[in-house]
C-alpha cells in the first residue's frame, strides 16, 4: 500500500532504464506458475513492473488510450475508441461542475476525452510513477490541465474522503486488482450516494473451461502479456459489484454486438486496409516483424536498454493470447456494467 505521508499528487521517480533487463526477468518470474497467489499477493509490484516496461510500447502501437473498443464496420479504430469512451461517459450523468474519477487511467487519453465530452473535471487515479509524468505532460500539451489531474495511489486504498466524486469509471483497469470486491468497495466508498460507476472489464466467459489445457495456456499468456495477477469470470464481476453495495442497472458483453471482432486490431493475420487505418500496420505480422528487428537493432547498439527484446517478447505473447481467447470466445475485454450507489 502507499505511504500515507507521501503526497499522492507528486509522482515518484520511475525505475532506471538501465535496469530493464533485471526488471523484465523479475516480472516474468511471477508467471512461471499457473497459480495466481504469488501474483495477487504482490499485485502492486507485478502491475508497476509491467507498466514501467510496457508503456512506451503501448503508446507506439496504440496511442494515448490503452483500450479496445466496440467497433462498427465503417469505423476506423481511432473513431471506435472515441465512441467507446463517449458511450461510457454518457452513462455517468455528469456535466460542468461535477467531479469524476478515472480508476487506472494510464497516461490519460480517456480522461481527457471524457472531460472534453462532458465538461466535468476528471481526476485520473494511477499507481504507476512512469505514467503520471507522461500524462501530466500530455495534459499540458492538449490544454486539458485545468480540468484534468492525477492522483498517484493504489485503487485498493484510494486516499480521498468518502463520497468525494459524482461519478466513477474504469476502462480495462480493475482487471489488475487482486480482489474485485475490495476494489469495488473502495470505489463505492469514494462515490457520492446516487452516483454511477460505469465499467469495461476484462473477463473469462462461460466458454472458458479450466480443465482444458489449451484454455489454461491462453489464460496464462493473457496474464503475462498484460500485467494481470489473475482473471475473473463475468459472473464474478457481477457478484463483486453487488457485494460491494452497488445496484447494477446495466450489464452486457459488448463483444456480442460489434461488427468487428474486438481482437482484430492486434490479429497479425488480418487484412490491412491502409486507406482506412494506415497506422494499424504496426500490429500486422509484417509490422510486428519490423518492430521486432528494430528493437533488436536498437538494443544491440545501446540505444534501447538491455531487456527491451524481452519486453517485446512477452507483449507479443499477450497479444497472441488475446487473439486466441477472442477467437475461441473464452475471453472478453468489453464486459460493460453500470451500477449505482444507493441514496441510502
Name the residues annotated as catalytic: 172
List the grid coordinates of 172: 480495462
Beginning with the edge strand found earlier in the chain, give each strand of the sheet holding 148-152 in spatial order.
148-152, 121-126, 99-103, 165-171, 191-204, 331-340, 247-253
Looking only at the bridges linking them, the beta strands covering 121-126 and 99-103 are parallel
Q: How far apart are CA 200 and CA 202, in angstroms?
A: 7
Please report the DSSP string for 91-140 in residue order. Answer: TS---TT-EEEEES-TTSHHHHHHHHHH--EEEEEE--TTHHHHHHHHHH
State how beta strands 148-152 and 99-103 pair: unpaired
In terms of Cα–Cα distance, which of 341, 27, 1, 342 is closest to 155? 1
In angstroms, the CA 124 to CA 151 distance is: 6
Rounded Cα distance, 102 and 106, in Å:
9
E-strand stretches of 180-285: 191-204, 247-253
Closest among 201, 200, 261 to 72, alpha carbons compared: 261
User: Distance between CA atoms of 121 and 164, rounded to whole angstroms?
Assistant: 12
Amino acid at each position: 500500500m502507499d505511504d500515507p505521508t507521501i503526497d499522492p499528487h507528486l509522482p515518484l521517480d520511475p525505475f532506471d532504464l538501465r535496469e530493464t533487463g533485471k526488471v523484465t526477468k523479475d516480472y516474468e518470474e511471477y508467471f512461471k506458475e499457473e497459480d495466481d497467489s504469488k501474483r495477487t499477493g504482490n499485485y502492486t509490484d507485478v502491475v508497476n513492473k509491467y507498466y514501467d516496461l510496457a508503456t512506451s510500447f503501448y503508446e507506439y502501437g496504440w496511442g494515448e488510450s490503452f483500450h479496445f473498443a466496440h467497433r462498427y464496420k465503417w469505423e476506423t479504430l481511432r473513431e471506435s475508441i472515441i465512441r467507446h469512451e463517449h458511450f461510457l461517459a454518457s452513462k455517468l450523468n455528469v456535466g460542468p461542475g461535477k467531479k469524476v474519477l478515472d480508476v487506472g487511467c494510464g497516461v490519460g487519453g480517456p480522461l481527457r476525452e471524457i472531460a472534453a465530452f462532458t465538461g466535468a473535471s476528471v481526476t485520473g487515479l494511477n499507481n504507476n510513477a512512469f505514467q503520471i509524468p507522461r500524462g501530466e505532460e500530455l495534459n499540458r500539451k492538449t490544454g486539458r490541465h485545468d480540468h484534468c489531474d492525477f492522483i498517484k495511489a493504489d485503487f485498493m486504498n484510494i486516499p480521498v474522503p468518502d463520497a468525494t466524486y459524482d461519478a466513477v469509471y474504469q476502462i480495462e483497469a480493475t482487471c489488475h486488482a487482486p480482489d474485485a470486491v475490495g476494489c469495488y468497495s473502495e470505489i463505492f466508498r469514494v462515490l457520492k450516494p446516487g452516483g454511477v460507476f460505469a465499467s469495461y472489464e476484462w473477463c473469462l466467459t462461460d466458454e472458458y473451461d479450466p480443465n482444458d489445457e489449451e484454455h489454461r495456456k491462453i489464460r496464462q499468456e493473457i496474464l503475462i502479456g498484460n500485467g494481470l495477477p489473475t482473471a475473473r469470470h463475468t459472473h464474478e464481476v457481477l457478484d463483486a459489484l453487488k457485494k460491494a453495495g452497488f445496484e447494477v442497472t446495466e450489464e452486457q458483453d459488448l463483444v456480442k454486438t460489434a461488427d468487428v471482432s474486438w481482437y482484430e486490431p492486434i490479429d497479425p493475420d488480418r487484412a490491412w486496409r491502409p486507406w482506412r487505418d494506415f497506422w494499424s500496420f504496426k500490429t500486422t505480422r509484417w509490422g510486428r516483424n519490423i518492430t521486432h528487428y528494430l528493437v533488436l537493432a536498437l538494443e544491440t547498439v545501446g540505444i534501447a536498454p538491455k531487456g527491451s527484446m524481452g519486453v517485446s517478447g512477452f507483449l507479443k505473447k499477450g497479444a497472441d493470447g488475446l487473439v486466441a481467447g477472442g477467437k475461441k470466445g473464452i475471453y472478453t475485454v468489453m464486459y460493460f456494467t453500470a451500477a449505482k450507489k444507493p441514496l441510502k
